[in-house]
Amino acid sequence: MAADSSHETTPLLPNAEQEDLTHNTDTMGSTLLWKTGAVFGATAVGLGAFGAHGLKKHISDPNKLANWSTAAQYQLVHSVALLVASNNPVAGALFTAGMTMFSGSIYALTLDTERFRFMGPVTPLGGLCLMAGWLALAFGKRGAGMRWPRF
């Protein structure tokens, strides 16, 4: 016996209005992650330049300057990773937390080791978040990070 389809109201193919509604709700989080990645990237360039030029006037320890450079490099690389992960909220959150904890704690410790000594344990936690972000990309929905958000 054939099913009566006269009461079906959902079309098989979505219309443009339905696609826009779905796309808008899907991209709200991805737009935030995209903008966060772009801001983190811009600040990484600025902080890297500050470390290469302005910080040398105040800090003479080459190890501290190298640490600052490492923090800026990791922040910049993971800013790009955050752009790629803009449609993977788990990876995006892990990259954001990881950059904040890893690079942020290194910046603080470089500027004033004694004052920010308590942040020492934060650095490896940030590194773990960065690694977990890469794993979230690897094992998340395939291709989820490759759709660029519409603004």
Round to whole Å and give the CA distance between 136 and 147. 16
The C-alpha atoms of residue 11 and residue 68 are separated, in whole angstroms, by: 56
Domain spans in the chain, listed from the N-terminal domain onward: 25-146
Task: Using alpha carbons, select from 85, 69, 79, 95 the residue that is nearest to residue 140.
Answer: 85
Contact between 129 and 94 under an 8 Å Cβ cutoff? The reply is yes
Spatial separation of the C-alpha atoms in residues 67 and 71, rounded to whole Å: 6
pLDDT score at 30: 87
pLDDT at 4 over 60: no
> In the predicted model, is pLDDT for residue 75 greater than 80?
yes
Mutual angle of helices 16-49 and 89-111, in 10-degree steps:
20
pLDDT at residue 71 tops 70: yes
What is the reported pLDDT for 28?
77
Q: How confident is the model at residue 77 (pLDDT cuts 50, 70, 90)?
A: very high
- Report the alpha-carbon distance of residue 49 to residue 55 in Å, rounded: 9
Q: Residue 29: is its pLDDT beyond 90?
A: no
Task: Compute CA distances 95 → 20, 29, 89, whole Å.
Answer: 28, 14, 10
Q: What pLDDT was estimated at residue 145? A: 45
Half-sphere exposure at residue 71, Cβ-oriented, CA atoms within 13 angstroms? 29
Model confidence at 22, in pLDDT bands (50, 70, 90)?
very low
* pLDDT of the residue at 25: 47
Cβ pair 133, 98 in contact under 8 A: yes
Lowest mean pLDDT of 8-17, 55-64, 114-123, name the range. Answer: 8-17
What's the pLDDT score for residue 18? 52
What pTM was estimated for this model as a whole?
Answer: 0.77
